[in-house]
Amino acid sequence: MSNRFDFLIIEEMVELGSKVLDIGCDDGSLLKMLQDKKKVDARGIELYSDRVNLCLEKGLPVVQGDANFDLEMYPDNSFDYVILSKTLQSVNRPRDILEQLLRIGKKAIVSIPNFGHWKVRLYLALNGQMPMTPSLPAKWYNTENIHLCTINDFLSLCDEINIKIIKSVALDRNGAQLNFANRIRSVNLIGEQAIFLLKKNND
């Protein structure tokens, strides 16, 4: 269910009739929703062929590819929005990928699971082991999430590489929106995930 909350926030961020690329589009649910509700020109990239097939059945144009290698084939500014939903933590070079997103897209929408959530912190503090939670269920040695970060970490990276955050939304585990303004510390503690609308600072 937490995914759906995530989608609704993304939907609010996307303008009607825009051109959208969803990287790691899975079965195409988000793209389909954006196509139906926001009349977007939808495109996707997905790593696994069985999921590509699910997208094709929905009539969505999706290219089987790997976010780590295949973003280079897209021309500059070819999309209004490039979406990376809960995928940043599993790519090889998150910083490079963020820069790619804002090369391809005029804006980017990035959502991350927050590794600064109090349950994650408590798990490590109490058990002395790598945290496992309902949203991060894999063991440290077989998780795809090789670059987990906290909301704070993400904000500093954006600052470092001159990315402007137009909008940020954090959600608690019930999907309720948390107020970001002046409360970063608590948002970083109780936010289970966060969604950011980004653009290049010099634009």
Partner 1 sequence: MTKLVKYTTNDFNLASGKSISPLEIAYETYGKLNKDKTNAVLICHALTGDQYACAINPITKKPGWWDILVGKGKPIDTDKYFIICSNVLGGCMGTTGPKSQNLITNEPYGLNFPVITISDMVKSQVLLLDHLEIPKVLTVIGGSMGGMQVLAWMSEYPDRIKSAIPIATAAYHTSQNIAFHEVGRQAVMADPKWHEGKYFEHNTSPEKGLSVARMTAHITYLSEVALQNKFGRNLQNRAKKTFSFDADFQVESYLRYQGVNFVKRFDANSYLFLTRAMDYFDLISENDGVLANAFNDLNASVCVISFTGDWLFPSIESKKIVHALNSKGVDVSFIDIESNKGHDAFLMDEPAMFKTIRGFLEAQYVK
Draw the binding track, 28-67, toward partner 1 (x: CB under 8 A; -: no contact): ---------------x-----xx-xx-xxxxxxxxxxx--
Choose between 51 and 117: whose C-beta lies nearer to partner 1.
51
Is 106 an interacting residue with respect to partner 1 (CB under 8 A)? no
Secondary structure, 3-state, 133-165:
ECCECCCCCCCCCCCCECHHHHHHHHHHCCEEE
Least Cβ distance, residue 66 to partner 1 (angstroms): 11
Query: How far is it, in rounded angstroms, from Cα 193 to Cα 149?
Result: 11
Choose between 59 and 122: whose C-beta lies nearer to partner 1.
59
**Only segment of 2-10, 70-78, 160-168, 186-194 that touches partner 1 (CB under 8 A):** 70-78
Helix axes 29-38, 2-13, angle to 10 degrees: 40
**Only segment of 71-79, 82-90, 146-154, 184-192 that touches partner 1 (CB under 8 A):** 71-79
Is the distance from CB of 148 to CB of 136 less than 8 angstroms?
A: yes
Q: Which residues in this chain contact partner 1 in the complex, by CB under 8 A?
A: 43, 49-50, 52-53, 55-65, 73-75, 78
